[in-house]
Chains A and B, each alone.
Chain A
Amino acid sequence: MINPVLLLILSATTIFLPLLIRKRVVFPFVFGIVFTAGLFVSKEVLTLPYWLYPYGWQIRIDALSYFFLVLLTFLVFMVALYSYSYIDKSDNAYFGWLGVFLTASMGVIVSGDFLNFFIFWELVAFALYSLIKKNQPEVAHRYFIIQFSGASVLLLGILLYYSNTGHLLVGPVPGNLRFLFILGLGVKGAIWGLHFWLPEAHTKAPSSVSCLLSGFVVKLGIYGFIRLIPDYNLFFLVLGGLMALYGVVFALFQHDAKTLLAYHTISQLGYIIMGLGSGNIIGQTGALYHLFNHAVFKGLLFLAVGAAGYRLGTRDLIKMGYLYKSMPVTTMTCLVAALSIAGIAPFNGYISKTLIKEGLYDINLMKHLITIVNYGTILSFSKLMYYGFFNKPEELKEKNNALKEVPAGMTTAMIIMASVCLVTGLMPQLLLNDIIFADISISFWSFEKLSSNIYTLILGLVIFYIGRNILRPKHKVINDIDYFYRSIVPFLSRFEIKIKSIHTGNLSHYLIWYVTFLVVIILSIL
């Protein structure tokens, strides 16, 4: 069993690797070592008194942290493997920032006190900012400002918690502070109302970074919800339902593959939050399981779409197609991921969606909502697979046929993730017993469940076939709610220009302000 401090030091060394080692081959191996170390970390609580004296650092690894730790190290390992081929040869600093991301996320998960939780929370946002900044500085800038604002709200909540309770240990927060924490955690977790940064960040960032973003970073928000706001069930149910529906509806009409996947992340997060709010152990286990699964299959989807974009030069569905012959591995793994996210047996999505459905057994409205969202998911992923990979437009035939498969690093990562999808789908007890430590016995393989599953799949495919012209990707821009946020900006800049113009530069004016201030104070004191 490995000491948590050792694990942290190990992941901190990955930050400095690019400075010391020139050969890129080494990097994925180091991340693999961190993954294996993470599997064997010991679950304990210990305190480091000398870090940031006098506050110290309480490191706490319990079952939930262990689960997230395994997920994090696995995902970063896969992304490192993928990035070995995906990222430009000249850009080795990317792996350093990947190490920063790894250490910072690890810090968030293992921190038992709020100060360090907050420190590493902000460092995660900063690491992501640096990862996105290479290609798209504008987007990264906006992302960081939004995350920083959310973190400031979180800071306010933490400070109020500190002054209310007098200590800084992570635990459930009192009721009047819940709203602040929901806002602060929700900016990272992309809950509805604060989700508008997600599609933009995903579309413009490199695919490996999107995998991390969708796969893990938004889950940190959910981690915060589980730890800090444990029983706010009605709110979470409503929020989750809203997110699930909203995400699917917006995803159906996107033409860029990654924007479609980004809106789907919102939708699946809605599933997870619904599971959290269901109030019983089955639903909550389903939420955690779906969290893991979503990281794996959404990550895989992003990686596959990124692979297609790597060869094709674009991720626009209008220009994609005819790839199933030239890039078979990519297509296959993407198909596996799409089936998983749609919840088709025998892949892992089936297990977690069944668990969540069982958890919501007494809330009929939600069950109908889930069914509708399920159909929407199948429709949008049929759209992705069909127009992205299987479509055979004549004009693209020669160009796309001549493409080669992606390099070995990328295919290895994708195949490993696809097999994880399959394995955890066929043997759910592996994850349930060893990692989530839940004691559930539901018959997943009963005839009625499987048959309704196949029925849903076939009905969804039929609907898609009928409506495939409506769903054809077009160049249409759909405005999300950040339209409202952006319309505030002109007012703010006018205010700022007004204040700047008051500072005229004329010395007499400055002197008049000064003396007026003095006279006002004297008169008010007298």
Chain B
Amino acid sequence: MIHLPVLLIIIPLMAAFALPLSIPVIRRNYKVIIAAASVIQFTLSITALVMSLQNPVQYQVGGWPVPLGITLMLDASSGFMTAFLSLLFVAAVTYSFSYIGRGKARYYYVLLMILWSSLTGMILTSDLFNLIVFIEISSVAAYSLVAYDETSFALEATLKYMILGTLGTTFIIFATGIIYSSVGSLNITDVSTQLHSVPAKPLNISIALYIAGFGVKTALVPMHTWLADAHSSAPAPISAILSGVFVKVGVFALFKLMYNMYGWSMLTSLGIDRLLINIGAATALLGGIMAVNQRDIKRMLAYSTITQVGLIVMALSLGTLQGLSAGFFHMFNHGIAKGSLFLSAGLMARKANSNEIQHLAGMGRCMPLTFFCFTVGALSIVGIPLLNGFLSKWLICSSLVSNGQITHVIILLLTSIIGVMYYLKVLQSLALPQEPEFNHSEASYKMYTPVVVLSALCIIVGLLPYIPLTVIDRAAFDFLNLNEYIISPIGRF
């Protein structure tokens, strides 16, 4: 179990490589490998979470000590994100078993496993260049998965995503180069101890480049333009993962750098926290405005993701422990709610053979269970009480008010009201009976089980938030104090 952090990264990767190699032996039953890998990875993630809650685990890849080697840090925040990631991936994999037809499905699972492994790597790593490598791997996997259906919309979306994303990665590499050339080390904690003796101008440029580079992955304004296209053209489980987890991991990595490498006091003196919170507010508003009156349901859900990510960024850029907990909690809640939404929307869209809202009218009557899951997800994001979205909104609002950002609270409430407008409209048109009626056939149990599990989790976390909140409080505390935990051969940093 000492090698747990590396195992978390390697197991899906091994499954991804084993899959094409084993085809001659296994033929059609390659799903066994994927299922086994998912189960193992999920159990390992939960173990990792439990372990990290007791005390953080620092793992040096290859045994190389700190300034030379790559550090994988499994503290409460990484453990929490890994477990959250695994939850959504297990749901997506189970859903994909029935959703993705035969044909080139092997490539789909290979890419999915690579995506899983690289996202886990992004969360765990404490080394700047390792971060870049994992960002690239996950981006390449994501580009290919968005283009999986090979419709013209999917290809166009992939193109835009790819070019914007590559530009972003180029900026991140540039920023890492600046940091390395100023400081001489690539470990986050090591850099943070030596930053005060470095000329300020290159550092400031590197901060700006990091924000721009991660901004593309996270879809902050004005780099959000690819997200609506990509998430609406991808197959439903991929949209769920991209919306539910991928953007959150980007936010997580960005803020890990901001908090631990640069230090919040340095950022406050530059005004970066004001910049980030205003970007968050602008993102939230823009997502809300664009989502009203969309014709395509998945595009509407994608813009809703942009809104919620704006709220998360607003919460995380406060610099307080309260803000961090609120942000992480909203990451979790939005992830499961949006996962439930995209997966059930995928089921309904497949039944109706169209993604457009007007063609989906009346679908709620034919697929009551799926529609119930969709409703739970939608109401959670809108902020109806007794569901988890309301609690995280309350926590974000109270942390904003404690910091005195009243205007941003008003913006948040405004986006909630706009959210009610477009979500409720869709819910109504889905629920009312239409002529001609679709035939009453619910989707197969294999496909709706993950959706039901995610929605049930929404309701449970809404009513009994005790366990997630304690984990998240601990995660936020560890996130702020990450540098205390990393030990070097010369002693604690």
Determine if chain A interacts with chain B. yes
Bitwise interface map of A from 325 to 362 toward B, beta carbon under 8 Å scored 1, else 0: 00000000000000000000000000000000000000
Which residues of chain A come closer than 8 Å to B397, judged between CB atoms?
Answer: 155-156, 159
* A19 proximal to B (CB < 8 A): no
The minimal Cβ–Cβ distance linking A131 to chain B, given in whole angstroms, is 14
* A514 proximal to B (CB < 8 A): yes
User: Is B222 a contact of A148 with CB atoms below 8 Å?
Assistant: no
The closest CB in chain A to the CB of B432 belongs to: A137
The minimal Cβ–Cβ distance linking B357 to chain A, given in whole angstroms, is 14
* A525 proximal to B (CB < 8 A): yes
The closest CB in chain B to the CB of A497 belongs to: B293
Question: Which chain A residues in 41-92 approach chain B with CB under 8 Å?
Answer: 50, 52-54
The minimal Cβ–Cβ distance linking A134 to chain B, given in whole angstroms, is 9
* B4 proximal to A (CB < 8 A): no
- Give A513 to B160 CA distance when docked, in angstroms: 13
- Give A314 to B420 CA distance when docked, in angstroms: 32
Partner of B385, one of A122, A144, A162: A122
* B394 proximal to A (CB < 8 A): yes
User: Is A159 a contact of B401 with CB atoms below 8 Å?
Assistant: yes
What is the interface of chain A mostly: helix, strand, loop, or mixed? Answer: helix
User: Is A526 a contact of B167 with CB atoms below 8 Å?
Assistant: no
Partner of A514, one of B167, B416, B420, B432: B167
Which residues of chain B come closer than 8 Å to A495, judged between CB atoms?
Answer: 289
- Give A147 to B159 CA distance when docked, in angstroms: 43
User: Is B209 a contact of A511 with CB atoms below 8 Å?
Assistant: no
Which residues of chain B come closer than 8 Å to A16, judged between CB atoms?
Answer: none
* B43 proximal to A (CB < 8 A): no
Partner of B417, one of A118, A152, A500: A152
A521-B211, A522-B208 are contacts. A163–B223 as well, Cβ < 8 Å? no
User: Is B204 a contact of A525 with CB atoms below 8 Å?
Assistant: yes
Partner of A517, one of B160, B222, B463, B464: B222
User: Is A163 a contact of B386 with CB atoms below 8 Å?
Assistant: no
Bitwise interface map of A from 95 to 130 toward B, beta carbon under 8 Å scored 1, else 0: 000000000000000000001001110110010000
* B40 proximal to A (CB < 8 A): no
The minimal Cβ–Cβ distance linking A143 to chain B, given in whole angstroms, is 11
User: Is A162 a contact of B401 with CB atoms below 8 Å?
Assistant: yes
Which residues of chain A come closer than 8 Å to B216, judged between CB atoms?
Answer: 514
The minimal Cβ–Cβ distance linking B150 to chain A, given in whole angstroms, is 19
- Give A153 to B409 CA distance when docked, in angstroms: 10
Partner of B424, one of A53, A123, A144, A525: A144
- Give A526 to B428 CA distance when docked, in angstroms: 51
Bitwise interface map of A from 4 to 33 toward B, beta carbon under 8 Å scored 1, else 0: 000000000000000000000000000000
Bitwise interface map of B from 218 to 239 toward A, beta carbon under 8 Å scored 1, else 0: 0000110110000000000000
User: Is B385 a contact of A148 with CB atoms below 8 Å?
Assistant: no
A53-B466, A510-B160 are contacts. A148–B416 as well, Cβ < 8 Å? yes
- Give A98 to B225 CA distance when docked, in angstroms: 44
The closest CB in chain A to the CB of B160 belongs to: A507
User: Is B402 a contact of A503 with CB atoms below 8 Å?
Assistant: no
A149-B417, A152-B413 are contacts. A499–B432 as well, Cβ < 8 Å? no
User: Is B290 a contact of A156 with CB atoms below 8 Å?
Assistant: no
Which residues of chain A come closer than 8 Å to B398, judged between CB atoms?
Answer: 159, 162-163
* A160 proximal to B (CB < 8 A): yes
* B286 proximal to A (CB < 8 A): yes
The closest CB in chain B to the CB of A514 belongs to: B223
- Give A39 to B216 CA distance when docked, in angstroms: 61
Which residues of chain A come closer than 8 Å to B413, judged between CB atoms?
Answer: 152-153, 155-156
* A133 proximal to B (CB < 8 A): yes
What is the interface of chain B mostly: helix, strand, loop, or mixed? Answer: helix
Which residues of chain B come closer than 8 Å to A521, judged between CB atoms?
Answer: 208, 211-212, 275
* B440 proximal to A (CB < 8 A): no
* A145 proximal to B (CB < 8 A): yes
User: Is B416 a contact of A123 with CB atoms below 8 Å?
Assistant: no
Partner of A503, one of B209, B225, B406: B225
User: Is A119 a contact of B390 with CB atoms below 8 Å?
Assistant: yes
User: Is A126 a contact of B384 with CB atoms below 8 Å?
Assistant: yes
Which residues of chain A come closer than 8 Å to B163, judged between CB atoms?
Answer: 507, 511
Which residues of chain A come closer than 8 Å to B428, judged between CB atoms?
Answer: 133, 137, 140-141
Question: Which chain B residues in 383-405 approach chain A with CB under 8 Å?
Answer: 384-386, 390-391, 394, 397-398, 401-402
Bitwise interface map of A from 500 to 526 toward B, beta carbon under 8 Å scored 1, else 0: 100100010011011101100110011
* B292 proximal to A (CB < 8 A): yes
A122-B384, A152-B413, A517-B223 are contacts. A511–B469 as well, Cβ < 8 Å? no
User: Is B171 a contact of A120 with CB atoms below 8 Å?
Assistant: no
- Give A144 to B383 CA distance when docked, in angstroms: 13
A119-B385, A145-B417 are contacts. A159–B209 as well, Cβ < 8 Å? no
- Give A52 to B460 CA distance when docked, in angstroms: 11
The closest CB in chain B to the CB of A133 belongs to: B428
The closest CB in chain A to the CB of B462 belongs to: A52
User: Is A518 a contact of B171 with CB atoms below 8 Å?
Assistant: yes
* A395 proximal to B (CB < 8 A): no
- Give A160 to B401 CA distance when docked, in angstroms: 7
Question: Which chain A residues in 129-177 approach chain B with CB under 8 Å?
Answer: 133, 137, 140-141, 144-145, 148-149, 152-153, 155-156, 159-160, 162-163
User: Is A496 a contact of B289 with CB atoms below 8 Å?
Assistant: yes
Which residues of chain A come closer than 8 Å to B432, judged between CB atoms?
Answer: 137
User: Is A517 a contact of B212 with CB atoms below 8 Å?
Assistant: yes
Which residues of chain B come closer than 8 Å to A119, judged between CB atoms?
Answer: 385-386, 390
- Give A395 to B124 CA distance when docked, in angstroms: 83
Which residues of chain B come closer than 8 Å to A500, judged between CB atoms?
Answer: 290, 293
Which residues of chain B come closer than 8 Å to A514, judged between CB atoms?
Answer: 164, 167, 212, 216, 222-223
- Give A393 to B111 CA distance when docked, in angstroms: 78
Which residues of chain B come closer than 8 Å to A163, judged between CB atoms?
Answer: 398, 401-402
User: Is A518 a contact of B209 with CB atoms below 8 Å?
Assistant: yes
- Give A120 to B226 CA distance when docked, in angstroms: 39
The minimal Cβ–Cβ distance linking B406 to chain A, given in whole angstroms, is 8
Which residues of chain A come closer than 8 Å to B275, judged between CB atoms?
Answer: 521
A152-B417, A525-B270 are contacts. A118–B402 as well, Cβ < 8 Å? no
The closest CB in chain A to the CB of B394 belongs to: A115
Question: Which chain B residues in 441-493 approach chain A with CB under 8 Å?
Answer: 463-466, 469
User: Is A52 a contact of B209 with CB atoms below 8 Å?
Assistant: no
* B425 proximal to A (CB < 8 A): yes
Which residues of chain A come closer than 8 Å to B257, judged between CB atoms?
Answer: none
Partner of A141, one of B205, B289, B425: B425
Partner of B386, one of A123, A149, A156, A510: A123
Which residues of chain B come closer than 8 Å to A510, judged between CB atoms?
Answer: 160, 164, 225-226
The minimal Cβ–Cβ distance linking B459 to chain A, given in whole angstroms, is 13
The closest CB in chain A to the CB of B288 belongs to: A496
The minimal Cβ–Cβ distance linking A520 to chain B, given in whole angstroms, is 9
* B378 proximal to A (CB < 8 A): no
* B102 proximal to A (CB < 8 A): no
The minimal Cβ–Cβ distance linking A255 to chain B, given in whole angstroms, is 29
The minimal Cβ–Cβ distance linking A457 to chain B, given in whole angstroms, is 47
User: Is A53 a contact of B469 with CB atoms below 8 Å?
Assistant: yes
User: Is B469 a contact of A518 with CB atoms below 8 Å?
Assistant: no
- Give A122 to B387 CA distance when docked, in angstroms: 12
The closest CB in chain B to the CB of A522 belongs to: B208
A-B contact pairs, 28 of them (CB 8 A): A52-B465, A54-B466, A122-B384, A123-B384, A123-B386, A126-B384, A137-B428, A137-B432, A145-B424, A149-B417, A152-B413, A152-B416, A155-B397, A156-B406, A156-B409, A160-B401, A162-B401, A163-B401, A500-B293, A503-B290, A513-B223, A517-B222, A518-B208, A522-B204, A525-B204, A525-B205, A525-B270, A525-B272
15 further A-B pairs in the complex, CB-CB below 8 A; given A122-B390, A159-B398 = A54-B469, A119-B390, A120-B385, A133-B428, A141-B424, A148-B420, A149-B417, A152-B413, A156-B413, A162-B398, A511-B167, A513-B222, A521-B211, A522-B209, A526-B205
The list of the 6 closest CB pairs from A to B, nearest first, reads A119-B385, A152-B413, A53-B466, A518-B212, A510-B225, A525-B204
Q: Which residues of A contact B (CB under 8 A)?
A: 50, 52-54, 115, 118-120, 122-123, 126, 133, 137, 140-141, 144-145, 148-149, 152-153, 155-156, 159-160, 162-163, 495-496, 499-500, 503, 507, 510-511, 513-515, 517-518, 521-522, 525-526
